[in-house]
């Protein structure tokens, strides 16, 4: 398709080869407003380019220009599809159908983003579809300890200035599923420094506090009012990130789950970020019950990105639409259980815009 109007060009090419011989493919989706690059390894975003207020294109996601660092540097989860269960499960253990499930452990004593070999480390099968690409994966019964053979599909489409991510999955046994995208954004450009001056709005009246630096929720659903976690009105990310607060100490900044206002299952606003310097904006909508805002606290300058610039602490932020972390262990959290034969589905959109006026 052409790129006039809402048409999107889709191009497929080889990106690299894995040690075991698997070929990693790259897919480029381009409209008049956005260019999105994806690879099959981790079904991940490797670049996302938009225009600033002066019409200059810039890449607003952190990542690498070649395959090798994606394979070797896995702790940052740049741009990946995280699963089978994104975020954390305490001790990798939960009860399901009267039985104890034990998953692999990869974050201290806990499971993070699917375990030792989560979906981020799989080479998905990609297929070009109208305006985008669909990635498929089969996770066998017992994969990382999770029950049920799970067939997963993640479809990325680009229409105009909107990226749409559609997740679907079906298992032959009852299991838990929580899929998200782990892109790191910096709306001033991936090599522009920190995100501390960008303004964030979260459509959330409550969040789930964590018990300690392991970042496992306590089970409490707490009001954001009167705390540094209140982003109901736009606030500069860095304005309160250093205040005296146990929750901020535990995460070295923001790395928490917010409860999205409205009805889960319906596509509704979750977050908006405005970069006054470049004029770029990002609006996130989701059908998920929650969103994890992570301010890139564990980036430490040791990873060097595609522009040759080191990614220092807080040089990118994540907005991970999701089920609640550790939901299988908290009866008061929305259930993440998917019964045998039941269809899991989820939709998230990223809409990119530009502020026309300049801020002094």
The closest alpha carbon to 44, from 173, 191, 163, 154, belongs to: 154
Measured from the Cβ of residue 190, the count of other Cβ atoms closer than 10 Å reads 24
Note the residue count of the chain. Answer: 360
Residue-wise DSSP of 190-228? TTS--STTSEEEE-EEEEE-BSSTT--B-S--EE-TTST
For residues 331 and 316, what is the distance between their CA atoms, to the nearest angstrom?
33
Catalytic residue status for 182: yes
Alpha helices (runs of H) in the chain, residue ranges in sequence order: 67-72, 246-251
**Please, what sign has the CA dihedral across residues 46, 155, 124, 215?**
positive
Measured CA distances, 313 to 79, 299, 307 (Å): 17, 4, 17
Name the catalytic one among 113, 182, 256, 330.
Answer: 182
Tokens of 172: 């032959």
For residues 229 and 134, what is the distance between their CA atoms, to the nearest angstrom?
35
Catalytic residue status for 72: no
- Helix (H) and strand (E) counts for the chain? 2, 27
For residues 60 and 51, what is the distance between their CA atoms, to the nearest angstrom?
10
Give me the half-sphere count of Cα atoms (radius 13 Å) on the Cβ side of residue 301: 2
Name the catalytic one among 134, 190, 285, 320.
Answer: 320
- Any idea which residues carry the catalytic annotation? 182, 320
């Amino acid at each position: 398709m052409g790129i006039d109007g809402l048409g999107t060009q889709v191009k497929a090419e080889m990106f690299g080869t894995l040690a075991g011989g698997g070929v990693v493919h790259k897919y480029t989706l381009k409209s008049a407003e956005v260019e999105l690059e994806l690879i099959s390894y981790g079904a991940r975003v490797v670049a996302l380019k938009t225009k600033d207020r002066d019409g200059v294109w810039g890449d607003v996601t952190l990542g690498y220009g070649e395959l090798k660092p994606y394979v070797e540097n896995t702790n940052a989860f740049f741009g990946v599809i995280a699963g089978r269960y994104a975020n954390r499960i305490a001790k990798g253990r939960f009860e399901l159908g009267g039985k104890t499930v034990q998953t692999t452990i990869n974050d201290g004593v806990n499971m993070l983003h699917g375990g030792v070999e989560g979906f981020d480390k799989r080479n998905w099968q990609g297929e070009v579809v109208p305006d985008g690409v669909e990635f498929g994966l089969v996770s066998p019964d017992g994969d990382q300890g999770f029950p049920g053979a799970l067939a997963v599909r993640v479809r990325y489409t680009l229409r105009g200035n909107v990226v749409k991510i559609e997740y679907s999955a079906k298992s032959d046994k009852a299991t838990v599923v929580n899929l998200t995208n782990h892109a790191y954004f910096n709306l001033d450009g991936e090599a522009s420094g920190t995100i501390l001056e960008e303004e964030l709005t979260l459509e959330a009246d409550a969040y789930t506090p964590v018990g300690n630096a392991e970042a496992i929720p306590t089970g409490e659903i707490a009001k954001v009012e009167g705390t540094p976690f209140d982003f109901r009105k736009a606030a500069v990310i860095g304005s309160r990130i250093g205040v005296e607060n146990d929750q901020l100490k535990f995460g070295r900044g923001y790395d928490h789950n917010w409860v999205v206002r409205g009805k889960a299952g319906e596509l509704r606003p979750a977050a908006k970020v405005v970069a006054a310097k470049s004029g770029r904006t990002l609006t996130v909508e989701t059908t998920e019950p929650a969103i994890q805002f992570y301010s890139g606290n564990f980036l430490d300058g040791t990873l060097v990105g595609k522009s040759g610039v080191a990614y220092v602490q807080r040089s990118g932020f994540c907005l991970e639409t999701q089920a609640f972390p550790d939901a299988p262990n908290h009866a008061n959290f929305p259930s993440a259980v998917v019964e045998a034969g039941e269809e899991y589905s989820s939709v998230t959109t990223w809409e990119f815009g530009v502020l026309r006026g300049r801020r002094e």
